[in-house]
Amino acid sequence: MNDAEFKAEHLTGHGDSHGHGHTQGSLVKLAVGAIGVVFGDIGTSPLYALRDTFAGHHPLPLDLLHIYGIISLMFWSMMIIVTLKYVSVIMRADNKGEGGSLALLALINQHTDGKRWGRGIILLGVFATALFYGDSMITPAVSVMGAIEGLAVYEPSMQRLIVPLVVGILIGLFMIQSRGTEKVATFFGPIMLLYFATIAVLGTLSILQYPGVIAALSPHYAVGMFMADPFRGFLAMGAAVLAVTGAEALYADMGHFGRNPIRVSWLAFVLPALVLNYLGQASLLIRDPAALASPFYFLAPEWFQWPLLFIASSAAVIASQAVISGAFSVTQQAIQLGFIPRMTIKHTSTAAGQIYIPVINWALMIAVILLVLMFQRSSNLTAAYGIAVTGAMLIDNFLLAVVLFKLWHWKAPAAIAMLAMFFALDGAYLGANLTKIPDGGWVPLVMGIAIFTLLTTWSRGRALMRANMAEGSIPLDVFAKSAHSSAARVPGTAIFMASTAAGVPSALLHNIKHNKVLHERVVILTVSIEDVPYVDAGERSSVKDYGNGFYRLTLRFGFLEETDVPAALDGINMCGEPFNMMKTSFFLSRQTLIASDKPGMALWREKLFAWMLRNAASAMEFFRLPTNRVVELGSQLKI
C-alpha cells in the first residue's frame, strides 16, 4: 500500500463546522437523542465493570484500600479519557461535522501525503477500524448477557435459561434490523433517560448509608493502591477499563447529533449518573461483601429488583443496537473510501445514517451468537472485551498527534504534555488487557488482524488493478478522433463507467472491437468519492467535451452519501442535452482476476483479493443503475 492510494483532495480545519443538516435541531432534543444512542455502551458498564475488578480473572482483595483505589481509578479514567480526551479535544477534529477513525483519517490524509510516516498513520487508522468490528461483535454479547444474568441473581434456579434467552434476544435484535431503526430509536432516549436516572437514584441511596465513600474520588487513593499493591493493581486495570468502554462512540456518532449535544449529555447527565452508581456499588460492597455476586443488581430493594432487570435489559439491547448501527455506518465509510468491496446497502429511511447492510448484519449475528455460546458468562466475555477498546483508544492518540501538530499547530510543550498523559494511561490499560489474552483476549486480536488483512488487501489490490489497467491505455482525445471515423454511429447515449479519470475504459474498447458501433453520445463516467462526508450540489459534477460526441463526466460524492448515479445525472444538462434513462445504456467492465507471480502482492493475497472481487456487489446495484439499461463486458486481468 503506497501513499498515493490515499491521496486526499480536501481537509477541514480544526472543527468549527456545524456538520451536515442532520445535526440541526434543538439542543435539548439532540441531547436526549444522544443519551439514547451514543451512551448505551458506556452506560451499561456498571452492570459488570466493578464486579469483574474484584471477581474476574485477576481479582483484587475486597478491602477499603482496593475499593477506594479502583473507584478513584475509574473516576479519573472517565475524566481524562472520556471528558478530556474525547469530549474536549478529539471531538473538535471533525470532518465537516463527522467523526470516527475513518473520518479522522480522511481529515488528515493530505497532511500525510508524501511523508514517510503517512503510510504508518493510515495503517494504524485502518487497524483501529478493524478493532471496531471486533468491538461490534463483543458489545452486544457482553451487554445483553450482563443484563440477563440478573435473572440468576434474583432467582438462581433460572441460571440455565440465561444463555438461551440471550441468544433468542440477540437473534430477534438482528432480525429486525432490515426494517430500520428510526421508529424504534424515538423510544431509545426516554428509556435511557429512565435507566440513567434509575442507576443514579439507586447509587445515591446506597451512598447515604456510607457517605464516606465519596472520598474515593480523590486521585490519591488510586496512587496509594498502586504504591501498596502495584502488580495486582496493574492487572486490575484490565477490568477497570470497562468503565470507559464506548468512549470512542462519542466521537464516531458526532455526525448524528453534533458536538455540543453530546457534551451536554455527558457532562450534565451521563457522567454524574455513572459516578453515583459506581460510588453506590462501592458503598454496598463495603457494607456487604457478599453483594459482590452482582453489586449492580443488589443495589435495588427487593420490590424494585424485577423492574430494574427489565430497565437494564432494555438499556443493554439499546447499547447493542447502537453498536450494530455503528458497524453499518463504518462499513459504508470504508466502502466509499476504498477499503471494503462494494456491498448491498439498503436505506431504511430518508434520515441520514439510517442504513442496513445485510452481509454485515448476518455476519455480526453469527459472530455474536458464537461468542455467547463459547464464553457462556459475561465475566468470561469481559476478558475479551478490553483489548479491542484499549487498542483503538491508543491508536487514536497517534491520529490526535497528527491533528495537534499538523492541523492545529499547537505549541510543542502543551501538545507533548497532553499526549504523554494520554499515551501513559491508554498504554497501561492496553498492557493490563494483554495479560488477558489466554483467557479470551485473543478473540478480538484474531478478529482485528483478519479484518485488517481484508481491508488492506482490498485497498492494495484495487491500486494494483488500476495501475495494470492504466498501462497501455489510450488517451481519450486520440481515441475519439480515430473511432469517430472508423465506427458506425447509432442513436442514443452510451455511458461507460470508468474507475479512473484517464484513458479509455476496457468496456468501450471491447464494444467497438466486437460490435463496431458507437452511440451518438458517448460519456465516460467516473464516480469519485471525496474525503469529506458530503459534497455540495454545485460541486457534484464536472464535464469535459472532446468533440465528435465524446465527453468525460465526473460525479463526486461524499463518503457518507448514497452513490445514486441516475439521480445525479438527472440534474445535468452539460453533455449536449439532458439524460433520458430510456435512451441511455450503461456499459460496465467486469474483470476476472488471475493470480500471478508478478511483483506487488503475495500470491495468497492476490487469491484473497480475487475472491473478494468475485463476491462484491455489482456496480449496477451499488450505483443504482436501471437493471434493463445495463450491459456488462468482461475481461481477464493479471496483477
Instruction: Give the residue, 160 or 105, on which the prediction is more confident.
Output: 160
From 118-122, 296-300, 518-522, 548-552, the region with the lowest mean pLDDT: 118-122
Backbone angles phi, psi at 474, to 5 degrees: -95, 130
Residue 298 confidence (pLDDT): 93
Mean pLDDT, rounded, for 472-477: 72
Q: What's the pLDDT band for 591 if we cut at 50, 70, 90?
A: confident
* Predicted confidence (pLDDT) at residue 11 exceeds the cutoff of 50: no
C-alpha 579/C-alpha 569 separation (Å) is: 7
* Predicted confidence (pLDDT) at residue 128 exceeds the cutoff of 70: yes
Mean pLDDT, rounded, for 8-32: 50
Residue 502 confidence (pLDDT): 74
Homologous superfamily of the 3-460 domain (CATH):
Amino acid/polyamine transporter I (1.20.1740.10)
606 - beta bridge partners? Answer: none
At what angle are helices 442-470 and 603-615 packed, to 10 degrees?
Answer: 90
Cell of 131: 478493532
Whether the CB-CB separation of 518 and 490 falls below 8 Å is answered with yes
Mean pLDDT, rounded, for 54-82: 91
C-alpha 337/C-alpha 21 separation (Å) is: 22
Q: Is 594 exposed, middle or buried (0-12, 13-18, 19+ CB in 10 A)?
A: exposed
529 - beta bridge partners? Answer: 557
Cell of 364: 455480526
Q: What's the pLDDT band for 271 if we cut at 50, 70, 90?
A: very high
Residue 14 confidence (pLDDT): 37
497 - beta bridge partners? Answer: 525
In SS3 terms, 394-434 reads as: HHHHHHHHHHHHHHCCCCHHHHHHHHHHHHHHHHHHHHHHH
C-alpha 186/C-alpha 182 separation (Å) is: 7
Report the percentage of the chain scoring pLDDT > 90. 23
Backbone angles phi, psi at 475, to 5 degrees: -60, 140
In this structure, how many other beta carbons lie within 10 angstroms of the beta carbon of residue 362? 12
Helix (H) or strand (E) holding 521, with range, is strand 517-529
From 175-184, 451-460, 530-539, the region with the lowest mean pLDDT: 175-184
Residue 215 confidence (pLDDT): 95
C-alpha 158/C-alpha 615 separation (Å) is: 44
Whether the CB-CB separation of 558 and 532 falls below 8 Å is answered with yes
Mean pLDDT, rounded, for 252-259: 75
Q: What is the pLDDT of residues 610-632, one digit of tens each?
A: 888 888 888 888 888 888 888 88
Distances (CA, A) of 249 to 215, 417, 468: 30, 25, 39
* Predicted confidence (pLDDT) at residue 434 exceeds the cutoff of 80: yes
Most confidently predicted of 43-52, 268-277, 565-574: 268-277
Report the percentage of the chain scoring pLDDT > 70. 89
Q: What predicted TM-score, i.e. pTM, was given to this entire model?
A: 0.81
Residue 21 confidence (pLDDT): 40
C-alpha 508/C-alpha 494 separation (Å) is: 9
Instruction: Give the residue, 470 or 71, on which the prediction is more confident.
Output: 71
From 106-120, 136-150, 464-478, the region with the lowest mean pLDDT: 106-120
Helix (H) or strand (E) holding 469, with range, is helix 442-470
C-alpha 323/C-alpha 329 separation (Å) is: 10
* Predicted confidence (pLDDT) at residue 268 exceeds the cutoff of 70: yes
Q: What is the pLDDT of residues 316-360, one digit of tens each?
A: 888 887 788 778 878 888 887 788 888 888 876 655 556 788 999
Going edge to edge, which strands form the sheet with 550-557? Answer: 541-547, 550-557, 517-529, 488-497, 584-594, 630-638
What are the domain boundaries of the chain?
A: 3-460, 473-638
Residue 70 confidence (pLDDT): 94
Rg (the chain; Cα; Å): 27
Residue 205 confidence (pLDDT): 96
Q: What's the pLDDT band for 111 if we cut at 50, 70, 90?
A: low
- Which residues are within 8 A (CB) of 186 and not within 5 positions of it... i.e. 6 or more apart? none
Residue 6 confidence (pLDDT): 32
Residue 30 confidence (pLDDT): 77
Mean pLDDT, rounded, for 450-459: 90
Q: Is 481 exposed, middle or buried (0-12, 13-18, 19+ CB in 10 A)?
A: middle
In SS3 terms, 145-164 reads as: HHHHCHHHHHCHHHHHHHHH
Q: What's the mean per-residue pLDDT of the chain?
A: 83
Q: What is the pLDDT of residues 384-428, one digit of tens each?
A: 777 888 888 888 888 888 888 888 888 999 999 999 999 999 999
Q: What is the DSSP string of 574-639?
A: -SSS---GGGEEEEEEEEEEE----TTS-HHHHHHHHHHHHHSPPHHHHTT--GGGEEEEEEEEE-
Strands (E), 272-336: none
